[in-house]
Structure 1
């Protein structure tokens, strides 16, 4: 399918997992020989973690954090990534709290964090399944679920998942944000129109798709339920080896809410070379009656409790002005040696949307590898409702420095947080950590 972007190609969301089969200064590893199809990585990180309140919202807390990880790679259709951080209290917090941070394990959904990635099937298989943390996830056309993360709430650690399947001219992707709780779930069905009239010379050149997403709002804290739906069409207008350009259009609404609808038209391009992977998208959108494209976006796990802006109400109940917007998105992966896996000298993901009433949203992340891959620096940022009262900002940074042949590394992280409270508000905070890690690949 011309506009299909297989999220399953990015299996391991754990930072640094790309080093599992290569030393810091080596070329990416070659595929495993038939006589030895399995690779494994064992990792252990030990850090100190400080959680600091802002604006007098609580007491400091400090933790010793131990994070074991085990990765088993059985090839393109089978893989497993297990591990979770265990935070042991060193100081702070309310009187009578236990040694282990309670908020990390106080709901069934939190046990999902033990599974970072489970892969069954691949992009070339008729059926594929993936379970784990959802980071920067988009549901096919991305007009409902766009750049979504199910781990933005610091006290909610679910495992999400998605299922992909192909039957003749029909392709589908279904997802859940929490496999252990009643939360966000949806699906998109895409029809390869060319195959309806015989075997198309260029599969996926013209597609029609329908998507629907529902939030039950019953896990990770209660929030108002809602349902959205969208219809999309895509036409690939230019195809060259390693390059594709397409036009797209769509219309969506909020079932049960009269007058809530939106429309979008845009262009996109994808390029792939041995060292570069590039995806660009630009759209013009119309919003009306409280509906907007990308409703389940990068800020959603906080906005479902309190949307950005002066109203202080959940996103499902917030007033969204009628108007227009321009949206752009860029995904870049580049490696000076050979593009492949997660071992890249540069990874960039950036999305932005400007609204006709003067508001601006942006989110992005960038990671670079330097000095023969011994140093990796990653930055993430999010701004919602900028230019208006009650704008929301979040940011974080991470540094990893590998030494002694790459098996030992130092790491440091820091950034800002927002903690949902029982009153439906968001309590601001910050975090900082530093420590050591070691891994062994076979």
Structure 2
């Protein structure tokens, strides 16, 4: 149950793009060539960064960005990734640091990109750092969530995994330095309870999860609490393949009539060259509850949900109805490398609602020409098919030369900046620069 979560940890410790996406709130989830146990990696990137308004009344901002990184690989029980972008203004107030990057206690969390204590085989494991595309176990409350979607909010999150007899637990907080999103899920191995320790743990589980947003860091927003009950049965187990069925029910405590139900199926396949994960669900939403409430758009939707109403997500009207949700994650490597550095990594989630709305988010990263060229694209569409739909996207290209020690990079995309009035100010970013490291 926990193996994929420890794989996710290393995505933060060894980012393929070196957390180089220059935009505030950048995505640093794709992996690089991992270092060997007991080794280290040092990196420095120097880029120009332009923040561009997409509406009148604002002026473009220019920066010189310095981004040092230090990675220590202590083996399966320890890993550390330190570093943060420092943005120095290039004209008005030249030389001064961008204030919005460091104006709250939570922003200092960005200095720790990743800290891993423990391993997949340990009874307890802890991870600190950026949460990118994070899902809480069954993922019916927290799915594909990022705590860095707000360009001016850079917290360090934490999650803890623990195993005790038939119980498997995961607890998380999106901000270790502020009162924000917190939750936990406890899964009970039913077969273990009834028939002692099974040969294949986790085949039949019951799980309960609850998540609360205090709304007091990264900007004030309404508090909200959700809870969910899930059952999962693994019905097919083959070498390198597993299929399961699931069902669940959830609601918003204290909100009468706010509930939802879900049924679905999933499959995982693992070979020396391919890592594939599929899931398909049919959902029912009622009274404002929805599965995946804390999703990829949440750090923006908590101020203003997609649509024309202009309300934060906790107060927005969400029609009763049904939806179909699908998710696919693919990692492929032609050279049977077997690690997290892949020639192709694809992650895509989409949900279609019976009343005409469509949501999608995804990211794809490819490595070409003996891994010298890296291209990464990600995008999000929320509320498509309805007035007031929200779109965000970015792309990055990185080319290594001179034996791979030096690389050139360029990136660009769109942003939304929350304002004190609760609105979202549209913007864009573009960046070019050079980096050097000892990865090869």
Indicate conservation of the 8 Å contact 1:214/1:225, yes or no. Answer: yes
1:63 aligns with 2:60: no
| 1:282-321 equivalence runs, <5 A | 282-321=280-319
* 2:321 counterpart residue number: 323
> What's the secondary structure of 2:90's corresponding residue?
strand
Equivalent position of 2:215 in the other structure: 217
Which residue of 2 is the match for residue 265 of structure 1? Answer: 263
Deviations 1:283-342 (A, max 9, x none): 000000000000000000000000000100100000000000000000000000124333
Task: Name the CA distance, whole Å, in 1 between partners of 2:110 and 2:354.
Answer: 40
Q: Are the counterparts in 1 of residues 46 and 66 from structure 2 also a CA contact under 8 Å?
A: yes
CA-to-aligned-CA distance 1:339-376 (integer Å, 9 cap, x gap): 43331000000000000000000000000000010000
**Which runs of structure 2 are paired with 1:148-163 in the superposition (5 Å)?**
148-163=145-160
Bigger mean CA deviation after superposition, 266-275 or 199-208: 199-208
Contact kept, 8 Å, 1:330 with 1:350, in 2: the verdict is yes
Match of 1:83 in 2: 83
Equivalent in the alignment of 2:140: 143
Question: In the superposition, relative to structure 1, how do residues 16 and 114 fare at CA in structure 2: closer, same or farther (>3 Å)?
Answer: same
Decide whether the 8 Å contact of 1:332 with 1:348 is kept in 2. yes
**Alpha-carbon shift at residue 55 of structure 1 (Å):** 1.6
Q: Distance in 1 between matches of 2:323 and 2:94?
A: 47
| Correspondence for 1:365 | 363
What is the alpha-carbon distance in structure 1 between the residues aligned to residue 206 and residue 47 of structure 2?
49
1:384-423 CA-partner distances (Å, limit 9, x unpaired): 0000000000000000000111110000000000000000
Aligned length: 424
Match of 1:101 in 2: 98
Partners of 2:89 and 2:3 lie apart in 1 by 42
CA–CA distance in 2 between the matches of 1:135 and 1:363? Answer: 13
Matched, 1:176 2:173: yes
Native 8 Å contact 2:33 2:439 kept in 1: no
> What SS does the corresponding residue of 1:6 show, helix, strand or coil?
helix
Equivalent residues of 1:160, 1:176 under 8 A apart: yes
Q: Is the 8 A contact 1:326 1:354 kept in 2?
A: yes
Equivalent in the alignment of 1:402: 400
- 2:91 aligns to what SS in structure 1? strand
1:39 aligns with 2:36: no
CA distance in 1, matches of 2:38, 2:17: 16
The equivalent residue for 1:188 is 185
TM-score (norm 1): 0.93
Among 370, 376, 379, the residue aligned to 2:377: 379
The 8 Å contact of residues 260 and 290 in structure 2, kept in 1 or not, is answered as: yes
Q: CA deviation at 1:76?
A: 1.0
Give the whole-Å Cα distance in 2 for the aligned partners of 1:16 and 1:271. 23
**Unmatched tracts of structure 1, length 5 or more:** 19-26
Q: Which secondary structure does the structure 2 equivalent of 1:91 belong to?
A: coil
TM-score, normalized by length of structure 2? 0.94
Q: 1:263 to 1:58 in 2, by over 3 A?
A: same
